[in-house]
Structure 1
């Protein structure tokens, strides 16, 4: 991590003194992949928590888990149980997305081993083909579930706006981030740490 940090400071110095200072102040970052849940469940949990406070997301997910009883969550996430899922506090759109995730998982289309074998871009395409799953979600899962080191989540407002502010609004952030490949995920970690924003 120290080597990546040193390289980031050197690269940032060529782009902007403000960016270099921010990265220096934040200090080395570490990537942590969290794959303790089956991917379909982790993806559903991510969808559940979007646009909610951490506390609200935790409460609603707790209700979802409780509503399943002894039924495995992937089996529980089906359209015939949509009313029950909505009663947990899920919106109609989130309920539909989670049910679509469950259906694909039951067909074997979200097998963890299969997904890990795909390049990050193909994996993102596979995930975003699910109704209600967008690029931001795919980026977050690639980073935090699969531990991909080279994802720049340009759809994340906090990461994008922070990079703009520390460099130039006239320069596209995708182009700036390219300078930090193959460790663009770390650039996002630096930007989030700089503004103390929580990505998930």
Structure 2
């Protein structure tokens, strides 16, 4: 199946409020429209995961990130752009709450985890949907994260509304993104 056909099918699924199993710049992810609470709850049900446990949001560019978090300090921009240009291990950054996303995405300290994705499929998908998407690993909560499509549980495959037919033979270069929080131009590593 071609890249663009899969983008069109995936966007159609997301616009209908359904969920998607898709390749990312780390592992295969379960995702949906980041503004659709019903779809988010469905992903939590599939994973047997608490709705209170936040998910990462993926954005395709700095403009979208700015729409979600407001002003981005130059120190943070530098880290994001260096990582993006060097295509190192993807970095998810924890931002302070701006109340532009549903409350279930926020951690107890009212922060939001967002990653500027390196992945061409995700970039195109988000751009075409014109909204950020959620990203959580395609495994049951508490179980090992699958590094390839072939390792994904049949239960997850069966419960997902649409499984992207693209890059199924690849193995992930990373089993997760790094997660950092930037406070007063100091980087605090939460997950390496």
Range into which the TM-score falls when normalised by the shorter chain:
under 0.3
Q: TM-score, normalised by structure 2?
A: 0.22
Which structure's residues are more often helix, by fraction?
1
Between the two structures, name the one with larger relative contact order (CA 8 Å, sep ≥ 6): 2
User: Which one has the largest radius of gyration?
Assistant: 1
